[in-house]
Each structure stands twice: as structure tokens, then as C-alpha cells.
Amino acid sequence: MKIPLCFIAAAAVAVLAPAGCDPIAEPQLCGQIPQGGCPVGRGGTCDDAACRALYDCLEGAWTEAEACDAAGEPAGDRDAGAGGGPGACEVVTLDRSGEAAGCSPALQQPDCPADAAETCVGTACWTGCIDFFLCTEEGWRAIAYCDEQGRVTVAP
């Protein structure tokens, strides 16, 4: 029995048609991790005395993955945070001169918009971003990056 060529072609189209590419979703950034938290995705561990809990960045929100036992330092020292003591947030300040809107193509992880870098120098890289870009009239311009220590460095 001979199978008609048109039947084989129709079967091939039916099999291959649903195999189209899904668009890549925009990354959902979590922003600053909760005070005393460490990111699991960036090597956070309860062995680190500064970690009171481990967090995962899931769908744009920090989710506690594991609570850590009491650290070896007094809780008052760990809670200094924004007060300027140990663990204070050094805010990333970027030069946004020439900023525009509507750049394309859209950035894909690990490239992220400049907004994602403007948190704390020591925590902005915990989102999975490596390079940060500013949309300008000429297109995307690299404005900052995560260094080998996992801290945001402003590009020259």
C-alpha cells in the first residue's frame, strides 16, 4: 500500500505546528532582600553569621526558603541596617543623563534595566542580573555590572 505524499506532508505540518517558540518572559526582579536575609541562588548559607534566613526570588517577590539559627553576633548589630551601622545599605547611584524610553529589543536575563541596580550595592546582584543597561536615544547603554564579589560597579 502506497501512502499519498500529501498525507505525509499534512501529518508533518500537524506535528510541527505546535512546536513554535514561546516568547521569553521579562524578568521579575525582587528588589532589596529582607533585612538579615541571604539569597539561596547566590550561594547564601546559614553558615554565614549575617544570615538570619535564606530567600529565593520567585515571581518578583522574596520568599523565605529556610530560617537560620541565631547568628554568633548580637541581634542589635545585625539590625543596624539603614542606620549606618554594620550591614547598612550603600545605595547605588547611577547617572541617568540621556535616558529615553522604548528601547528594543527587550533585555533578557542576565541583562537588566538600570532600575534593577538602584538598590544596595551589596544586594543588587542577588537578583540574577549581571549587567545593567540604560535606555537612551541611541539604544541600550551599559551603565553598571556585577563584579566578581557580587557588588554593583558603575561603568566608567
The whole-chain average pLDDT of the chain stands at 74
pLDDT of residue 136: 94
What pTM value is reported for the model? 0.47
Between CA 41 and CA 54 the distance in angstroms is 9
Return the top range by mean pLDDT from 12-26, 54-68, 100-114. Answer: 100-114
The full DSSP string for 73-137 is S-HHHHTTGGGSSTT---B-----TTB-S--SSPP-TTEEEGGGGSSBTTTGGGGS--EEEEEET
pLDDT of residue 72 exceeding 50: no
Q: If you average pLDDT over residues 120-144, what whole number do you get?
A: 89
Confidence of residue 79 (pLDDT cuts 50, 70, 90): very low
pLDDT of residue 19 exceeding 90: no
pLDDT of residue 73: 33
Q: Radius of gyration (Cα) for the chain, nearest Å?
A: 23
pLDDT of residue 135: 94
Of residues 11 and 155, the one with the higher pLDDT is 155
